[in-house]
Amino acid sequence: MNRRLLLASIAALPASRAFAQSTSPSAPAPSASTDARQRHLRDTMAFGSLSLLLSRIAEPKVTQPLLKQFAMFEIAEQETIADVLTSLQTNAAPRGVIEAPSDTTLMQHLDDTGKASVENLRRLNAGAELDRDYLRYQVEGHHKLLAIQEAYLKTFDNLDETNIAKLASGMIKEHLVLLKKLDQTG
């Protein structure tokens, strides 16, 4: 599947919802923020922030060419998702550009375990150990992200959030397949 098309679809969700509401007088108002929705946003942002930070650290150091390519794709994707989720949380006006979060902002979303993972990867030099740890962190993080999306899809109380969770689930499953292949070839 074309990653750019998928990412563009995620970015367009809030705008399409607003357009539908403005053109249909009988369209329901967006649902209020629920505990499930807030938990989904918070947890997706936390594990997405971790994946983004780890990928930013690993990308210049990774020695396996396909793992390096994965890190570059993950950076672009997680920056996009962070921008989309931030705009949903803040109800920001539509923009035609992606505003990538700073490392400082991303660190604010992490728990102590996530911060320890970031520090561990930062201290490693390029080589097999870094490649192995980065791959392991990505597999673990993607499994957690998938569980977060699947849990939210059981509540589906907000159209935009539900659509994001659906799209994210498919992308995460794709990444897990890619990561498994990278682990087998590495």
User: What is the secondary structure of 64-98 as a DSSP string?
Assistant: SHHHHHHHHHHHHHHHHHHHHHHHHHHTPPP-SS-
Pick the more confident residue, 156 or 84.
84
Q: Is residue 166 part of a domain?
A: yes
Give the CATH number, domain containing residue 122.
Answer: 1.20.1260.10
Is the residue at 26 inside a domain? no
Q: What pLDDT sits at residue 158?
A: 87
In a domain, 181, yes or no: yes
In this predicted model, what pLDDT tens digit does every residue of 74-100 receive, in sequence order?
999 999 999 999 998 888 888 899 999
25 occurs within a structural domain: no
Q: Take residue 70 and report the two structure tokens written for it.
A: 């994965």
Number of structural domains the chain divides into:
1
Determine the pLDDT at residue 44.
96
State residue 92's pLDDT score: 85
- Predicted pLDDT at 94: 87
Query: What is the arithmetic mean of pLDDT over 137-155?
Result: 96
Domain annotation covers residue 111: yes
The answer to whether residue 168 scores a pLDDT higher than 90 is yes
Residue 151 structural domain: 3-11+34-185
The predicted pLDDT at position 31 comes to 45
Cβ atoms of 160 and 17 closer than 8 Å: yes
Domain-located, residue 122: yes
User: Is 27 inside a domain boundary?
Assistant: no
| CA 118/CA 137 separation, integer angstroms | 10
17 within 8 A of 87, measured Cβ to Cβ: no
Give the residue ranges of DSSP H helices in the chain.
3-23, 35-58, 65-90, 103-107, 112-123, 128-153, 159-185
> Dihedral sign, CA of 33, 149, 130, 57?
negative
* Per-residue confidence (pLDDT) for residue 24, from 0 to 100: 40
Q: Is 22 a member of any domain? A: no
Question: pLDDT-derived band of residue 58, with 50, 70 and 90 as boundaries?
Answer: very high
